[in-house]
Structure 1
Amino acid sequence: MTWAYRSPGWLPGGNLQTIYAAKLATAQSLPDAAWQRERWPTPDGDFVDVDWVNRDLTGPRPLLVLFHGLEGSSSSHYSQSFAAQAKQRGWRMALPHFRGCSGEINLAPRAYHSGDFQEIDWMLQQCQQLHQGPLLAAGISLGGNALLRWAGEAGHAAHHMIQGAASVCAPLDLTASGQAMGQGFNRWVYTRMFLQTMKPRALEKLVQYPSLFDRDALLAAHTLYAFDNVFTAPLHGFKDTDDYWLRASAKPVLADIRVPALVLNARNDPFVPAWCLPRANEVSNCVTLWQPQTGGHVGFPAGPFPAHVDAMPCAVLDWLQTTLP
């Protein structure tokens, strides 16, 4: 199965396709009441907030677990569209928020990061305990990298947890993506946007733990590299940004994946340079690569003006459905 995506002719270029999808395109949004929130206590005394769709449905129907991207949540345009697609199919869906992303600051002296496969494993275990039917997992951008990192680490054991996995626009080579985000338009637009929320959240952690990191160094950070050097890397056990980006990248473990996995990346994604995308000889036989020429970063707008962003989630769920027994 393949997906022959083509971007609308009136919306050229990866940046336009990225920004339009996130800010202007129509999605099958859900009313607030459609999400049901549940709080899970974590083993380290913290909590994770999980938003559900079709939470109360019973029977052997699939459960889709969606892992959001950097600074994402259940309000993100892709989350809304995946939820709508799952609801239409009669699937249950769970969106576990990474630490601090649910609208309430978390408690532990940590946040979240691109390679946190241990957190993915714990979240999937909770879902497995709460659901009797087949489990499917999808990850967007950062969440996709973390999910594939988990799948590679788990190897054959992943079969005991999920039927299939899908990543969308994951930065599989974090060094390549990090360098791209630190230059030109990416730095002045996307990086600035991310840091507008990342810095305040980090400063909230400093109120909880006054000696956690250097406040002045954080305020002086104007790139993701600098931010990760001060905050993300040391809080999560990495020596520095270079060590974090190297060890957290999923690309080196794609050959170790032993569960059906879809890896979708647009070749004009401004966050993920096309030259660093995996080739067929770098992944296991369980991995399917979709690399359309266009789509941007978690964009993939479709249709005449005004475009919608439902085509990609629909294609991804169609693929995941082929992994079901």
Structure 2
Amino acid sequence: MHFIEKSGYQPPNNFIFKNAHLSTIIPGAIKKYPVPPYSREKLELPDGDFLLLDWWINDSTDSIVIISHGLEGHSRRTYINSCADYFHKFGYSVLAWNQRSCGGEINRLPKLYHMGLIDDLKCVVNQAIYSGFKKIHLIGYSMGGIVTLNYAGKINVPEEVKSCITFSTPLNVLQNVKAFKKTSNFFYFHNFMVDFKKKLIFKHSQFPDIFNIKQAKSIKSFDDLDSLFTAPIYGFANKEEYYLKVSPLFVLNNIKTPTLIVNAENDPFLTEENYLDRYEISNPNIYFEKPKYGGHVGFPLHNSKFSWAEIRAKEFIDSIL
């Protein structure tokens, strides 16, 4: 593994840019970025479900970035929009995809999404290859980073996939559940739970024999969610087995694609077990960068409509090409 000792992210000497929560909330909830002129496709899946894909094609290239959003996100969040715009300005095509039940239309089947569901990303990548793209770069944020790393570490990825880049990604999910329970993070995860409970209640109307309405309404934490729904629906013995099996940390040595992992030291969603400088990772394809600041999917810049994340992603792609 290559540990990048001096990160390129140097925020202005300003409290807002260096505060863990402000650098998370302002870029994610307050900053607005125009939605690109996407063309939406409903991709039918082999199991009878579908995904919503947002394309922004640049006809002059066979290079594309595929962007994966975070928990309860979608393809038109601010951080996705700015990343898409940045890469499109440099001549790339863009594919921002929505995980099952995200993007404004609930999915058909009982299964929603989970952190290790790599088959859907596999279908998205195959669709890009089918569309003629020869150079594919995967960018994942938070939970989207978990899916991206699991995809790269659990299958033989197509040769068209040239790089993977992730930001603010839990690597040891089993240990990182401690972050979900911090009092300082209550606001974030309460909002996640409110959105997810709405989906579970809707799923009860579709599949009353699978989704217990009383259990859905009683959920107060990720422990509840993953014990009552995620683990049993996806065939895990319990939530602990689920967290262990979706943790990218344990598949990093299998990755054959050049991969950059960026986790800010002050990320309020990450515990100490999610920084690779504490582990022996022998894989030379892994690059790990730990900026001192940046928050969670933040990395704001002074007087710039872009974040440092997309700039860093392109720098990495340029370096490996």
TM-score category of the 2 structures, normalised to the smaller one: over 0.9
Q: Which residue is equivalent to 2:11?
A: 7
Deviation per CA, 1:87-115: give whole Å up to 9, x if none: 10111010121001010110011011111
CA distance in 1, matches of 2:76, 2:151: 25
In structure 2, give the amino acid aligned to 1:7. Answer: P
Alignment of 1:63-82 (within 5 A): 63-82=64-83
Tell me the secondary structure at the aligned position of residue 280 of structure 2.
helix
CA distance in 1, matches of 2:282, 2:301: 29
Tell me the secondary structure at the aligned position of residue 140 of structure 2.
strand
Q: 1:217 to 1:26 in 2, by over 3 A?
A: closer
* TM-score between both structures, scaled by the size of structure 2: 0.92
Alignment of 1:1-325 (within 5 A): 3-8=7-12, 9-11=14-16, 12-25=18-31, 27=33, 29-31=34-36, 34-54=37-57, 57-154=58-155, 157-158=156-157, 160-186=159-185, 188-279=186-277, 281-303=280-302, 308-324=305-321
Tell me the secondary structure at the aligned position of residue 114 of structure 1.
coil
- How far residue 323 of structure 1 moved from its aligned partner, in angstroms, is 2.9
- How far residue 86 of structure 1 moved from its aligned partner, in angstroms, is 1.6
Deviation per CA, 1:102-146: give whole Å up to 9, x if none: 101100110111111222222211211112331111111111111
Q: Which moved further from structure 2: 100-109 or 219-228?
A: 219-228
Q: 1:82 to 1:283 in 2, by over 3 A?
A: farther
CA distance in 2, matches of 1:136, 1:282: 22
Tell me the secondary structure at the aligned position of residue 163 of structure 1.
strand
Q: 1:263 to 1:283 in 2, by over 3 A?
A: farther
Tell me the secondary structure at the aligned position of residue 124 of structure 1.
helix
Aligned length: 314
Return 5+ residue gaps in structure 2 as ranges.
Answer: none
Q: 1:24 to 1:308 in 2, by over 3 A?
A: farther
In structure 2, give the amino acid aligned to 1:175. Answer: L
In structure 2, give the amino acid aligned to 1:259. Answer: T
Q: Compute the RMSD of aligned alpha carbons.
A: 1.8
In structure 2, give the amino acid aligned to 1:167. Answer: T
Q: Is the 8 A contact 2:75 2:96 kept in 1?
A: yes
CA distance in 2, matches of 1:114, 1:259: 20
- How far residue 60 of structure 1 moved from its aligned partner, in angstroms, is 4.0
CA distance in 1, matches of 2:252, 2:19: 28
- How far residue 239 of structure 1 moved from its aligned partner, in angstroms, is 1.8
In structure 1, give the amino acid aligned to 2:26. Answer: Y
Q: Is the 8 A contact 1:26 1:308 kept in 2?
A: no
Tell me the secondary structure at the aligned position of residue 210 of structure 1.
coil
Tell me the secondary structure at the aligned position of residue 192 of structure 1.
helix
CA distance in 2, matches of 1:161, 1:216: 46
* TM-score between both structures, scaled by the size of structure 1: 0.91
Q: 1:283 to 1:198 in 2, by over 3 A?
A: farther
Return 5+ residue gaps in structure 1 as ranges.
Answer: none
Tell me the secondary structure at the aligned position of residue 229 of structure 1.
helix
